A = this chain, B = another copy of it.
Amino acid sequence: MDYDVILIGTGAGSYISAVRLLKHKKKVLMIEKDKFAGECTNYGCIPSKALIEMSESVHYLETMPGMNMNYKLDMKEWQKWKESMITRIRTGTENLCKSLGAKIIYGTGKMVDKNHVSVNNQTFSTEYIILDTGSSPVKIKGIDDVYYNREILAVDSIPEKLVVIGGGYIGIEMATAFKKLGSDVYVVEMMDRILPEIEEDLARSVDKKLRSLKVNIMTGSKVLSVKRDKKYKVSVENHDDITADVVLMSVGRVPNTGDLGLENLNIALDGRFIKTDEHKRTNVDNIFAIGDVSGAPMLAHKAFYDGYIAAENILGNNVIVDYKAMPFVVYTDPEISFTGKATEKSNKLPVLANPRSLTMNQMDGFFKLYYENDGTLAGAGVAAPRSSEIIGEMTLAIEAGLTMEDLFLTIHPHPTVSEGLKDASDING
């Protein structure tokens, strides 16, 4: 065999798999048709977090009493910084894989049979294959001349007027960031609320804040057409037409299965995803699938975990997936995070009772802990500044089977947002 393992796609999951396999002396080929490190690093979570971070600081200073702040944002310059920052991450991961001995080929990888993969007119034999080709935005016929995540994160100026079609987490993150950076923002969502994939009370806290920021939210609304001339004209059922500079389409993502040669091998699907078992193995026993292409939730950290599981199984360790506590974050205002599951019993503390949040001039949101009858922590929903950084603690607590009392008795530094979790765990007075 030319290789022990060939990975098609080099995103979050592949990177983790490859490093693990390489450290255990496996011969690894990684095939990438675009940029090393995938959608999240190059076009998704990383650039969006950078933009959101800037928008939050601007908004915080603009609304801080006593602070009189003016700014001019040269987005072309900022994009250069963003690219250099991403390049640092991308080359860091690529160089680590190379230094551990990975072979990397740029091109479109396709499975010829269960032990052969072709790329750039070469064919390589391999014992195992890992498919990690990610996902792409849903495109709607007739209204596809719009911006998606890649384009919106590459703008060279802040649009005067932005219409976001789809009020899921990507749309709402971008709506919040661009509003804070000065855009007039419209959100059109077919469902009866924004963030339909998120717990309702978390979504409500974001909806409330967006409305106070004067974002125009149209729920239960259907886009009829999007026409592009110099500007966009967006027709929404039962609303006046909206003229806009930029239209972001964010109505979901679909797995990238097109070029893989799945048909050659009768690889089973689950809807549009590649079907995998609890070892992340497809119905063909030496072929694994990880990350977005292998099923929801489409999250980079789920891909990391999948990558670990696949690598361990290839290394002969019988490890299975356990999504008991899968954190989910939306970088909005307030920042909302969820992990574990909702149970009947819960305890809720308002952000107003968290001094650290007040020092940041933030007063919206809550800490909600879900627990079993015996006091075991089952889930957490947090709408609070920097909640992304504290939901890991709740995930760890749930995975370890800890109780509300364990959390309550753990000293948390003061003043922090994290102590809101401790305070919310005080169910015995």
Contacts and interface: CB of A to CB of B under 8 A. Distances in A.
A399 B251 CA distance: 44
Interface of A: 12, 20, 23-24, 40-41, 45-47, 49-50, 53-54, 57-58, 60-61, 64-81, 85, 88-89, 92, 299-302, 304-305, 323, 325-329, 337, 352-353, 355-356, 358-361, 386, 388-393, 395-397, 399-400, 402, 406-407, 409-419, 421-422, 429
A92 B354 CA distance: 11
A354 to B, nearest CB: 10
Given A12-B414, A392-B418, A399-B409, A78 B67 contact: yes
Given A49-B356, A358-B89, A66 B61 contact: no
Contact of A415 (B45, B64, B69, B75): B45
18 contacts: A40-B414, A46-B355, A53-B359, A54-B61, A65-B81, A66-B76, A67-B73, A68-B74, A70-B71, A88-B352, A301-B419, A388-B413, A390-B418, A392-B410, A392-B416, A393-B393, A395-B412, A400-B406
Nearest to A20: B429
A326 B71 contact: no
Contact of A386 (B326, B386, B400): B386
For the complex of A and B, list the 4 residue pairs with the smallest distance between their C-beta atoms, beginning with the closest: A66-B78, A66-B77, A393-B393, A65-B81
A106 to B, nearest CB: 22
Nearest to A408: B308
Contacts of A409: 399
Given A413-B329, A416-B329, A418-B392, A355 B89 contact: yes
B58 A61 contact: yes
B429 A359 contact: no
Contact of A53 (B74, B76, B360, B393): B360
A21 to B, nearest CB: 10
A229 B154 CA distance: 56
A355 B396 contact: no
Given A45-B415, A396-B407, 14 more contacts: A12-B414, A46-B355, A49-B359, A54-B61, A65-B78, A70-B70, A85-B359, A323-B411, A386-B386, A389-B417, A390-B392, A395-B410, A399-B406, A400-B402
Given A397-B396, A413-B327, A71 B68 contact: yes
A375 to B, nearest CB: 14
B412 A392 contact: yes
Nearest to A76: B66
A66 B70 contact: no
A88 B57 contact: no
Contact of A395 (B337, B386, B411, B429): B411
Nearest to A96: B353
A79 B71 CA distance: 23
A89 B359 CA distance: 10
Nearest to A75: B66
A328 B73 CA distance: 37
